[in-house]
Structure formats: structure tokens, C-alpha cells
Amino acid sequence: MHDAAPSSSSPRPEYSPKFRMRRAQNWLTLGTMYAAMYMGRYNFSFANAKLSETYGWSKTQVGAIISAATLIYGISAIFNGPLADRIGGRKAMLVGASGAVVFNLAFGLGAYLGFLGTGTLLLGYLATVWSLNMYFQSYSALALIKVNSGWFHISERGVFSAIFGSMIQAGRALIYFIGPLLVLALPWQFVFFVPAVVMTTLAALTFLWVRDAPDEAGLPALDTADASSGYTGKVDFKYVAKVVFTNPVTLTIAAAEFCTGFVRHGFEQWFPRYMQEAQHLSLDSPIFKSGATGVVLAGIAGAFTAGLLSDLLFKARRPPVAFFGYVLQILCMAVIWAAPSQGLIIAAFVVNSFAISIVHSMLSGTSSMDFGGKKAAATAAGMFDGMQYVGGSVVGTGMGWLLDHFGWGAWGPSMIGFAGIGAVLMLTLWNARPKSHASQTAPAAAPTALPSSEQQSSRTGTQG
């Protein structure tokens, strides 16, 4: 049996044990590396309140660090996508991990730079260093998606994106677990030092074990049946720009991801501080710990739910699943706005994490591989993930100012409208599917095995 030959009775390929073993080694290492990168990204939220306490900074001032870094991530992801497609996902991940290690260490070392004082100079230093960390962090998602696009057929990407989503959540779970312990037991800078050590270890394993595609690991090449399938021409900026930047479907997804970014980062960057200040819970309280654990587990469940629904129920269509995720976000933000009780608020946090994970998995994680294809997957991921972080940059200084002036009662409703816009955009893409290069160049009279209802929805850029 060919290592990656298509099955005659199923759209999914059949794989040999050798292929499955080597692919497992690849994605386990890569997924764990990305989980470590998440540790070096979401650790800031646990130092948020501590920075205000230590240096007397307002929420707006701390939010300035979030805004600067998140905006840099978003812009960098957009521009680094074509670069990652050119150099390959493995190299891109190693570049990103190296920079993230250096600048997590540099952020923590800011605590020892007494000559900067505790005012504008130190704030500017930390904002600059954290922005540089996020520049290098932007390579990680592009690299992950670029590598996976060469190893996974389109018919199995939803489920495997869920597996990767759960591994990513594991990285967030680890920082959610050790972050409060580090902040409470040690000086705040150790919440940046520890992730740097973990990222260094995983970067070494990535160098040793990860390869960009099966043929680079001594296996036959895999036809992934995505937007790049059948394309044999030159892969340059002109090609990736045509595939990603001029396609109405990818442009619509990018607009939706801007909305996702506002909700996702508005929630993730501020909810630990909300629990401390609005709900009067310490970071080591049993209620906070159980709530944080629930948020992480819900994120894992959301990724798997989205993957199974898109692959099995919606036949590799991603927008319908993302639509349901946006609707759930609206409901959860409404509960937080009403603030009926502490228990219901924590339940809304958990369900909101589930909903955010559904949308993130479908759009940034899976649609980028589908509509970019393995040759332009990083470019698509860069645009989708980049726009998400551009949207998220608003919730740093902007959210900080809102909270300083109107309190935590304005937090929930500030995110509802953006989730609503995302839901409407997904309705316009309900039946969108990628079209392979081979099918685009086939003669008009060529026969097809698709039912007539699926012929229409399989065209690139087609909306239902």
C-alpha cells in the first residue's frame, strides 16, 4: 500500500503504519513546541495586576503594553506569512522560539533595571520588549499551520486541528496553573523566566525531529486536496497574493477574525484581573483555580467539537461551525454583563472559552490551510491570525481606559457587537469550500463526481 494513496471508497487517504508513526512524531513535537510558546505569551495576564501594584500604574498604562505588543503581533503575522511560506514552517518556528526566549528573559530582567525608575522609561522598556516578544511569537502559528498543511489531507484537518488546539490549551493550562503560584511565591519576573526555559527545551526537540512535509522525512509526498493541489508553478509573492489577498472568502474571514480578536483578547487578557477586582477572588482561591481550569478544559472541548462537526457533519465546511461559536460568545457576554451571580459568571467564562476555541480552531487553524493550500498556508494564517491580533490590540489601552472610566460593568457589553458582526460574516460564507488548482484549470465540460449542490459550493470564493 502506498504511504499516502487516496482510498477508492473514501475521500481520505489510507496511510501506512510507517507514515502514521512519523507524522505522529512530527505533530506531537510541533504541537508541544507551540504549547510552550503559549506559555510565553499568556504569562503576561498573570503579571498584569502585579505590575500595577509594584509600580503604581493604572489599567490604561498596563493596557498600553498589551496594545503595543498585540498590534505588533498582528501586523507582523500578516507580513511574516509569505516569509514563512518561503523558508518553511520548521525554520519559522525555530526563529520564533529563539526570539520568544530572548525577550521573555528581557522582560523579566526589567525588574532589575533600577536606573529606568518606575515611570515612563520602565513602561516604555517593557512595552518595547513585550512587543518584540510578540513579533517572534507571530511566527509560531504560521509555522504550525505551514507544517501541518503538508502532512494532513483536507478531509481530516478539522479533527487534527482540534488535537492541536488541545495541545495549545495544554500550554495555556500550564501557565494558568503555575502562573498564580509563581506570582504569589516569587517576584513577578519569574512568570517570564520559567516559560523561557520550557521554550528552549522544546526548540531543541523541534530542530531534531520536525520536518516540513512527508517527502522531507523520507516518505512519499501527500496530495492534500486543498487550494494548492495540482499547482506546479512558482510559489512567489504573486502566487500567494492571488490565492490569499484577492479571494473574497479569505478577505471575509480576515474581517471576521478582527472581530474574534476583540472578543478573544478582551476576555483572555483581562479575565484574571476581573476575577481579582470585580469578584474579589485571589489568584490562589479554590474558586479561581476551578474557574481557570474550566476555561482551559472548555477550550479543548471547543476545538474537538468544532473539528468533529466541520469534518463529519458539515463535510469540511468551516464557517457554519464558526457561526455557532460567535452566537455562544454573544450569550456568554450578555450573562457577564448582567452579572447575576458569581457561579453563573464563572459558568459564562467557561462556555465563552469553549465558543472562542470553536471560532479560533475553524478560522485561524483550519480555514487557513484549506483556502491557502499547503503552498500558501502560512500567508493565509498570517492574514487571519494577524487580523485577529490587530483587533485584539484595541483591548489593551482601549479596554484599560474603558475600565478606568466606567468600571467592570462595561467589560461584557463592549465585546458583544464584535461577536455579532463575526456571526453575520459567517452566514455569508455558509457553503464556502476551497477549490483545488487542478479543478480550476480543468476543461469546462469535464465530468465531476460531486452532486450538483456541492459543485456550486466547492468553488473558491463561493458563498451560500
Rounded to whole angstroms, the Cα distance separating 207 from 30 reads: 10
CB-based contacts of 62, cutoff 8 Å, min separation 6: 48, 51, 52, 400
Taking residues 169-190, what's their average pLDDT?
A: 82
Residues near 250 by Cβ (< 8 Å), separated by ≥ 6? Answer: 243, 244, 371, 372, 380, 383, 384
Amino acid, res. 429: L
Instruction: Kindly report the number of other CB atoms within 10 A of residue 57's CB atom.
Output: 21
Cell reading at 384: 487571519
Q: Looking at mean pLDDT, say which of 9-18, 187-196, 267-276 comes out highest.
A: 187-196
According to the model, what pLDDT value does residue 270 have? 83
Per-residue model confidence (pLDDT) at position 446: 39
Tell whether the model's pLDDT for residue 365 goes beyond 90: no
84 vs 7 pLDDT, higher one? 84
Contact 160, 103 (CB under 8 A): no
Question: What is the model's pLDDT at position 443?
Answer: 46
Q: Distance between CA atoms of 292 and 283, rounded to whole angstroms?
A: 10
Of 212, 157, 175, nearest to 361 by C-alpha is 157
Residue ranges per structural domain of the chain: 14-214+227-433
Instruction: Answer for the pair 55, 118: CB distance below 8 angstroms, yes or no.
Output: yes
What is the band of 12 on the pLDDT scale with cuts at 50, 70, 90?
A: low
Residue with cell 502506498: 2
Q: Of 80, 214, 231, 218, which is closest to residue 147 (Cα–Cα)? A: 214
How does the average pLDDT of the chain come out, rounded? 83
pLDDT at position 229 is: 64
Q: Label residue 8 exposed, middle or buried (CB < 10 Å: 0-12, 13-18, 19+).
A: exposed
Other CB atoms within a 10 A radius of the CB of residue 128 amount to 18
Give the pLDDT of residue 3.
44
pLDDT tens, residue by residue, 62-79:
888 988 998 898 899 888
421: CB partners within 8 A, 6+ apart = 256, 259
405: CB partners within 8 A, 6+ apart: none
Locate all alpha helices (DSSP H) within 186-247, ordered by sequence. Answer: 190-209, 237-240
Tell me which of 231-235, 352-356, 399-403, 429-433 is least confident.
Answer: 231-235
| Torsion sign across C-alpha atoms 259, 264, 267, 268 | negative
pTM of the predicted structure, to 2 decimals: 0.72
14-214+227-433 has CATH 1.20.810.10 classification? no
More confident residue, 385 or 235: 385
* Phi and psi torsions of 72, nearest 5°: -60, -40
Instruction: Categorize the per-residue pLDDT at 359 as very low, low, confident or very high, splitting at 50, 70 and 90.
Output: very high
